[in-house]
Amino acid sequence: MQFFLDGSDIEKIKKFSDLGLIDGVTTNPSIILKSGKNMIEVISELASIVSGSISAEVSALDSEKMVEEGIKLSQIAENVTVKLPITWDGLEACNSLSRKGISVNMTLCFSASQALLAAKSGAEYVSPFIGRLDDLNLDGADLISDIKLIYSNYNFSTKVLAASIRTINHVKQCALLGADVATIPIDIFEKLVKHPLTDSGLSQFTADWEKTGQSIL
């Protein structure tokens, strides 16, 4: 499973990218607002740090302007993926952009039928929002499972990009269900390596090593 980071913290994204752990980055209008920077500058900088897909979301709601914005965003860098909402206008824009060879990520997916439409429209990625479904006492993981089965049934090449990840357990569920990508908030990604038994075990081993009086170097 590929790891994308959901955010725009350049310093942390570069750190994890340099470690070889990050395969891409996703952004949205809320992330751009939080950054306090110009969107074009943010996407350009991210694209220069991470060689994988950088999702940049359109602001338009009608298909014609979505296509215009999508073309402009795709020209920022070769690895930019245009992010579109799953609406009829979004699907029309996806069809148009994908036919031009532009990578598209269909976002705000909350049902298997939406994912099916996204795949048939030529999307490279579809982003089911599992955390927001959990907020409604639904099981977001079930949606991942349903989409993977449907795509397998009909040999769709669209990748399942699990989004709205709120917990470490969400990451595990996505991996177990075969999601192609999980886009993870940076604070959640930083917690993936943490476990209290790792910390306590390391403390014990360190203390015991000091008692040996030895040195490896």
Predicted local distance difference test score (pLDDT) of residue 211: 97
Predicted local distance difference test score (pLDDT) of residue 123: 98
Do 115 and 144 form a contact (C-beta atoms < 8 A)? no
Predicted local distance difference test score (pLDDT) of residue 111: 97
Do 14 and 7 form a contact (C-beta atoms < 8 A)? no
Would residue 180 count as lying in a domain? yes
Would residue 161 count as lying in a domain? yes
Predicted local distance difference test score (pLDDT) of residue 45: 97
Predicted local distance difference test score (pLDDT) of residue 24: 98
Would residue 217 count as lying in a domain? no
Do 34 and 8 form a contact (C-beta atoms < 8 A)? yes
- Check which CATH number belongs to the domain holding 70 and give it: 3.20.20.70
Would residue 93 count as lying in a domain? yes
Give the whole-angstrom CA distance, residue 122 versus residue 8.
Answer: 27
Would residue 204 count as lying in a domain? yes
Predicted local distance difference test score (pLDDT) of residue 197: 98
Does the annotation mark 120 as catalytic?
A: no
Domain that holds residue 70: 2-212
Q: How many domains does the chain have?
A: 1
Predicted local distance difference test score (pLDDT) of residue 85: 98
Do 85 and 112 form a contact (C-beta atoms < 8 A)? no
Would residue 41 count as lying in a domain? yes
pLDDT tens digits, the chain, 217 residues: what are they?
Answer: 999 999 999 999 999 999 999 999 999 999 999 999 999 999 999 999 999 999 999 999 999 999 999 999 999 999 999 999 999 999 999 999 999 999 999 999 999 999 999 999 999 999 999 999 999 999 999 999 999 999 999 999 999 999 999 999 999 999 999 999 999 999 999 999 999 999 999 999 999 999 999 999 9
Would residue 124 count as lying in a domain? yes
Give the whole-angstrom CA distance, residue 7 versus residue 27.
Answer: 6
Give the whole-angstrom CA distance, residue 6 versus residue 171.
Answer: 13
Do 54 and 79 form a contact (C-beta atoms < 8 A)? yes
Give the whole-angstrom CA distance, residue 47 versus residue 34.
Answer: 19
Would residue 162 count as lying in a domain? yes
Q: Among residues 15, 72, 83, 100, which one is catalytic?
A: 83
Predicted local distance difference test score (pLDDT) of residue 8: 96
